[in-house]
Structure 1
Amino acid sequence: MEDLNEKQLEAVKQIDGPVLILAGPGAGKTKTMIERTAYILNQDGVLPENILLSTFTDKASNELISR
């Protein structure tokens, strides 16, 4: 998480409720989503089946699956 900017870090650490990430190409949206998911999964009592990730591009969805 050390290479995230202030806004990305804010989104990662927001674990109560959904987060909508809107940004331009190459801004780190997918990376932020992956870091947030890992952060949430490291919290006590959070199960993977309770997390929904959604994206609109094939490239980003493939990255989510592979990471």
Structure 2
Amino acid sequence: MQAEDLLKLVRTPMPFGRYQGRLIADLPGPYLAWFAREGFPPGALGELLALMHEIDHNGLHDLLTPLRS
């Protein structure tokens, strides 16, 4: 993980699916857990979703608060 990845979480919208257009940082935990069970998409998007799942699972949402400006 790079520091830039945290910025991407609060700036990158989900490109498809039920939550299309919602920032990755704002995706609900059960949706992230579904990806964790079924498999994250390949590439950069999958890496961001996996990172967000770890943040959500460990209750670390406060890490992203200062980046939301």
Same structural fold, with TM-score higher than 0.5 when normalized by the shorter chain: no
Higher helix share: 2
Q: TM-score range by the shorter chain?
A: 0.3 to 0.5
Q: What is the TM-score normalised by the length of structure 1?
A: 0.36
Q: What is the TM-score normalised by the length of structure 2?
A: 0.35
